[in-house]
Amino acid sequence: MIPLARKTLIYEWRRFVPAVFAVGFSGLLLVVQAALVLGIFGSAAVYVRASSADLWAGYPGTQSVNFGRSINPDVEMRLRMDPSVSAVEPYLWVDGDWRSAKAGAGGVSVYLSGIRTAADGMLFARILAAWHRNALREPGAVIVDNADLDTLGVEVGQSAWINNQRVRVVAAVDGLRGLGGINVLSSLDTAREIGGNDPASGSTYLVARTSENAEATQARLTQSHHVGFGPFEVWTAEQFARRSQLYWMFDTGAGVAVLFMAIVVCMVGTVVTSQSLMGVVAGTAKEYAVLNALGASRGALARLVIEQACWIGGLGLVLASVASAVLLGVAVAYGVPVAMNAPVAGGCAVLIGLVALLSGVFAIRALLRADPALLLR
């Protein structure tokens, strides 16, 4: 029976093409949706992912990077007291209202990040080059994402205003787009001037580089007493990035809606593919009836259909992989926020396989029509 399944697929491939395409397009929808989820909600942690810091210290219970509150400046001393902490630098977060000189342009909400401009700075180290940091030392200098220039109504070299303070765009980079607002980078001094923050009031976060395992240092800082340093909590970079992503995915409702759509995609794919397979089985009812009359049991015929479904799933997976790679490549080229990693890709492959397998199980019902009595009609 098993060779028969493959031979049937080879010699009657035209019958199975719709089912292969149904599985392939279900997989394509699933992969693209997963890539969009990772890309969109991953941008909530761009501040962490784009930085080289091992530890983040912020106000206890902070749900996401953009919800930070000021912490006591003495926390920096507490971090430096740990023998494994080799460097600490502040991160100042300011919510701003951007206005450009462009006629008719309205206000745009921006997130201003005040960072250290030294060449070895940890914040946004994976995005900024040394000359970017050097350019930020100019008073009022800011850097934005290339994709946000039109929204902000400026070009590189032009001036605008944040909270009525004049700024000048000295550079535009890629990979700075975030979730919920437009990200703007400046020096700590510029951010304090725009936000009206006193240096003595501390910063929103402190980031640190460690000389040993970050989890060990984080555990040691968490277990120690913080009396005299004010409330603060320490996370590893991975913990804080995941915390921010999970908040936007599950606590805002947007992520739940996307997951619901993924379930709908799987259900639609299963129904469409099973209908295609059932059509194939129904169309070959007489052939199955002949096999049944020759002694093939219904169980053997069911295994034949299941194997055909597995082959269809495999071919659909290949089709979905190629189409997804092309489509995601186009999305990246046009700046659409998409991302993919091995665990999610593996999960999509498993779901595509399950769609094909379930479709085969549903198609087995059509075997009930494969009665040898059909041959006498």
Tens digits of residue pLDDT in 100-144 = 877 766 688 899 999 999 988 999 999 999 999 999 999 999 999
Q: Tokens 């996370």, residue?
A: 235
Record the tokens describing residue 332, joined without a space.
């990246």
Q: Mean pLDDT lowest for which of 86-90, 147-151, 277-281?
A: 277-281
Better-predicted residue by pLDDT, 205 or 274: 205
pLDDT at 173: 92
Find which of 31-35, 232-236, 303-307 is predicted with most confidence, using mean pLDDT. Answer: 232-236
Pairing of strands 165-173, 141-145: parallel
Cβ burial of 249 (10 Å; 0-12, 13-18, 19+) is buried
| Cα-based distances in Å from 313 to 105, 212, 260, 282 | 52, 46, 23, 19
Helix (H) or strand (E) holding 87, with range, is strand 85-100
Residue 255, pLDDT above cutoff 90:
no
Residue 318, pLDDT above cutoff 60:
yes
Find which of 72-76, 110-114, 180-184, 211-215 is predicted with most confidence, using mean pLDDT. Answer: 110-114
Confidence band, pLDDT 50/70/90 cuts, at residue 297: confident
Say what percent of the chain tops pLDDT 90.
28
pLDDT at 356: 77
DSSP 346-374: HHHHHHHHHHHHHHHHHHGGGGGG--GGG
pLDDT at 338: 82
CB crowding 311-342: b at 16 or more within 10 Å, else e = bbbebbbebbbebbeebbeebeeeeebbbbee
Confidence band, pLDDT 50/70/90 cuts, at residue 28: confident
The pTM of the full predicted model, rounded to 2 decimals, is 0.73
Residue 376, pLDDT above cutoff 60:
no
- pLDDT tens-digit map of 189-228: 999 999 887 777 788 999 999 998 889 998 888 877 666 7
Spacing of C-alpha 275 from chain mean position = 33
Confidence band, pLDDT 50/70/90 cuts, at residue 183: very high
- pLDDT tens-digit map of 344-371: 888 888 888 887 777 777 777 666 666 6
Mean pLDDT of 41-48: 84
Residue 228 DSSP symbol: T
CB-CB contact of 281 with 304 (8 Å): no
